[in-house]
């Protein structure tokens, strides 16, 4: 509808308050998933996490068997303090039980595990690897292989990561995230810290600038 279009436009223009108004008009006309989804996205951009969570839970109460509604709740929970992320992981898992084909839930599940691993290297990534592997059976897409490759890279399962990055590129040779991830993996397999190498390159570039200025 026109209200949905305006809501999306306001979000792209970084105007979340106006987006809320547009999506609320759409919500007032018809309380469907798109209206709830737009409202939640707009509230999170402000950010008004409490309003986003209330809206997502209302959507779930109206659509308890809809995996997208459960996924929406999980997205908001992932941004709430305390044990929000643990609750979000449970919500994503429930979404996948409602619909095993919901690849968005699988990716969200994987992303949250990767985020937790950044903060705690002892985080077990096997549940996320298992979810993505199963989801990949239904969605043989470049971005799915890339995400699974990222999980294997973080878990230091380099041969498996290599396989999935190459598979992603075989499906789409122009898929830049897979190409960049493959370059990073190859450095790791050579025993090179890709992050440290990037920092060195930046420092060298800065030193070169100073030398040019001195001359």
DSSP per position, 115-143 = HHHHH-TT---HHHHHHHHHHHTT---HH
What is the model's pLDDT at position 87?
Answer: 96
Percent of the chain with pLDDT over 90: 87
What is the model's pLDDT at position 196?
Answer: 77
What is the three-class DSSP state of 158?
Answer: helix
Average pLDDT, the chain: 91
Q: Taking the alpha carbons of 74, 80, 84, 85 in that order, is the dihedral positive or negative?
A: positive
Closest of 103, 153, 155, 159 to residue 132, by C-alpha: 103
The whole-angstrom separation of Cα 98 and Cα 151 is 24
pLDDT at residue 10 above 60?
yes
DSSP H helices in 46-141:
49-62, 67-77, 84-98, 103-119, 126-136
The dihedral region occupied by 61, where left means phi > 0, alpha psi between -120 and 50, and beta the remainder, is alpha
pLDDT at residue 206 above 60?
no
Asked if 71 contacts 95 with a C-beta cutoff of 8 angstroms, the reply is yes
For range 9-29, the mean pLDDT: 94
What is the model's pLDDT at position 174?
Answer: 96
Asked if 60 contacts 94 with a C-beta cutoff of 8 angstroms, the reply is no
Please state, as a whole number, how many other Cβ atoms lie within 10 Å of the Cβ of residue 134: 12
Side-chain-side CA neighbours of residue 105 (13 Å): 27
C-alpha distances out from residue 159 to 104, 162, 171, 185, Å:
25, 5, 19, 10
- Which phi and psi (to 5°) does residue 79 adopt? -110, 10
Asked if 150 contacts 118 with a C-beta cutoff of 8 angstroms, the reply is no
Cα 147 versus chain centre, distance? 10
- The answer for residues whose C-beta is within 8 angstroms of residue 17's C-beta and 6 or more apart is 42, 46
For range 69-92, the mean pLDDT: 95
The whole-angstrom separation of Cα 33 and Cα 37 is 6
């Amino acid at each position: 509808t026109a209200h949905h279009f305006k809501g999306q436009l306001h979000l792209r223009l970084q105007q979340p308050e106006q987006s809320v108004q547009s999506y609320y008009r759409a919500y007032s006309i018809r309380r469907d998933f798109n209206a709830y989804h737009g409202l939640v996205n707009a509230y999170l951009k402000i950010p008004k996490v409490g309003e986003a969570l209330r809206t997502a839970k209302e959507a779930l109460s109206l659509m308890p068997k809809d995996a997208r509604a459960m996924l929406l709740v999980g997205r908001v929970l992932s941004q709430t303090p305390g044990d929000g992320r643990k609750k979000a992981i449970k919500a994503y898992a429930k979404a996948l039980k409602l619909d095993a084909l919901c690849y968005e839930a699988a990716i969200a599940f994987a992303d949250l595990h990767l985020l937790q691993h950044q903060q705690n290297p002892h985080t077990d990534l096997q549940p996320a690897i298992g979810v993505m592997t199963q989801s990949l059976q239904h969605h043989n897409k470049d971005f799915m292989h890339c995400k699974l490759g990222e999980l294997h890279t973080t878990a230091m399962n380099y041969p498996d990561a290599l396989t999935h990055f190459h598979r992603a590129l075989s499906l789409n040779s122009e898929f830049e995230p897979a190409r960049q991830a493959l370059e990073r993996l190859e450095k790791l397999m050579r025993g090179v810290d890709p992050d440290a190498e990037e920092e060195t390159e930046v420092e060298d570039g800065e030193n070169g600038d100073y030398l040019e200025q001195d001359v």
